Chains A and B, each alone.
Chain A
């Protein structure tokens, strides 16, 4: 418990530090975002009045305090361009990103566990050699290139699947309507499979190596001595090999969440990464700032969960 409290404290410190870095970045780096939105033909008094209205003429410390307060309470302000609260826009985008990430992670975890467990169990076999070779190849290949190639082959050349978007134009776009439609499935196949091609390698390699350790442990020998069938022994072994996977899943979510920017661009997927790219092109700083913070927060939260899980799974770490 004490360890958890300490971890929580360090989590909050790091969130605060990250926020401060972002504040400095957006405030002190050269370039005045307001210049884009204020017509330079306006009189200086009018410009000053508008800036005061936005709180930009307040002293820096006051702006800083206000910024931290707003960010911590998820008040991200109003988008410059879309004239809509940033939190509303962001919520939509995060849901869309999840519509790509979670199916991919689910497939990767279930599929990767099965493949990795079998590969580790049959150490030295041809199945293991091929799986490991292929996994290492996919693990090291740049996934956005895989995405581009998949797009070129399956969408442009063969025309089997749509080239982008989350649903066709004019289709209903409520969250549950999207999730239940075959249209979404057709749009999701390419990006999800490309994401799977990278994410699945983690569980495969992890399960394979932890199966090695478990295979040679005493309790497996005992199970065998009891005369239990080989398949059931494999099930027992896999259950034990799953422990390290629990923490890895949290890592996967964090990594996928920041890595999907590229896939969202390639497949025109209206998620948070694509929103950030658009916002930066439009100089829509309230949105850009909020996107960045939400992405960092997801990673931090996942890291925190990993730390917390370590203690639960392996009590030796607690002290």
Chain B
């Protein structure tokens, strides 16, 4: 299954020859900063990379400065006077994107929603890549029964339909943002694990790894120093992919009404608008979260695409 999936994403496991392994010598720190600098150079070299990078930077700024930008809190009710809630008002100067049926400011909710999106995106992708890379490395490097058990575990993970599974878990346990992130991690690690394992399998037969082995390097040293650096670009790629999937899955769950009730995410906004049937009239309520979500997801995709195309030049469109 994986190979078709990857050719759809267009990603081929073919990264080892594009890596700056030998350039930066032994110091792990300079290797890391080399990776980061290389990443920016790659991203900013293509129009789609520049687009993705600017849009995401914008969302980051919105998230950081949300308290300064949003005129109201995510759950604040706007009053015109005493006991006069402004319900379902179209956009005005006071409420740039209008208000909801409960009199909450849509503009403010969208701004606060960026915080949720970025938090979910970062944590879920970080978690899934850590788990996936660790499992893939261990399975690929050790092989044998460990590999078989871990890969069977991956097969099981691949059988899980995410939304139905998450909906059931959430309805039995109390819904919260932490649980949603946990579920996304439990769902996303599988692809990274498979790809990293395949890559590790091929790397461990390379001459330089065998040479290290013969000169007495320990397993830990080989994994950390000789295999991990070549895995990192893939992990990095899957982390970016994970941001996109994480945000999309969280908003899907929230839209279905299984999100955390304590935060105002874009999906939760759409859920509220859809549930009360407000989308029939209140376009100003449905449109902003839809656009914000699409823009964010597409921007992350553009960014990963730019990076991917660098890793595999066959994807380029002349």
Contact = CB atoms under 8 A, between A and B. Distances in A.
Contacts of B280: 156
B119 interface: no
Interface in A209-236: 209-210, 212
Given A128-B317, A258-B162, A295-B164, A151 B1 contact: no
A266 interface: yes
B167 A277 contact: yes
Nearest to A210: B7
Given A142-B251, A261-B256, A262-B163, A148 B8 contact: no
B164 A29 contact: no
Interface in A90-149: 123-124, 128-129, 132, 136-137, 139-142, 144-145, 148-149
B290 A10 contact: no
A26 B165 CA distance: 11
Nearest to B247: A142
A316 B152 CA distance: 23
Given A29-B169, A205-B10, A140 B283 contact: no
Contacts of A137: 298
A143 B155 CA distance: 26
Contacts of B158: 299, 303
Interface in B195-218: none
A17 B270 CA distance: 36
A296 B270 CA distance: 27
A30 interface: yes
B294 interface: yes
B255 A206 contact: no
Contact of B173 (A29, A128, A151): A29
Interface stretch (A42-50, A51-59, A182-190, A243-251): A243-251
B163 A206 contact: no
Given A247-B4, A259-B163, A280 B168 contact: yes
Contacts of B248: 142
A205 B9 CA distance: 8
Contact of B318 (A15, A25, A124, A266): A124
Contacts of B169: 25, 29
Interface in A258-308: 258-259, 261-262, 265-266, 273, 276-277, 280, 288, 291-292, 295-296, 299-300, 303, 306-307
B290 A30 contact: no
Contacts, number: 147
- Interface size class of chain A, counting residues whose CB lies under 8 Å from the partner chain: 35 or more
Contact of A148 (B4, B286, B314): B286
Given A206-B7, A248-B4, A303-B1, A141 B294 contact: yes
Contacts of A206: 4, 7-8
B52 to A, nearest CB: 10
A148 B283 CA distance: 11
Contacts of B286: 148-149, 152
B172 interface: yes
Contact of B4 (A13, A265, A306): A306
B174 to A, nearest CB: 9
A21 interface: yes
Contacts of B172: 25-26, 29-31
B301 A148 contact: no
Contacts of A248: 4, 8
B164 A261 contact: yes
Contacts of A292: 161, 164-165, 168
Contacts of B5: 251
A14 interface: yes
A202 B7 CA distance: 9
A247 B287 CA distance: 37
A18 interface: yes
Contact of B152 (A13, A30, A129, A142): A13
Interface of A: 10, 13-15, 17-18, 21, 25-26, 29-31, 123-124, 128-129, 132, 136-137, 139-142, 144-145, 148-149, 151-152, 156-157, 202, 205-206, 209-210, 212, 244, 247-248, 251, 257-259, 261-262, 265-266, 273, 276-277, 280, 288, 291-292, 295-296, 299-300, 303, 306-307
15 contacts: A14-B159, A26-B168, A30-B172, A132-B317, A145-B290, A148-B270, A148-B279, A149-B286, A152-B287, A206-B7, A244-B4, A261-B167, A280-B171, A292-B168, A299-B159
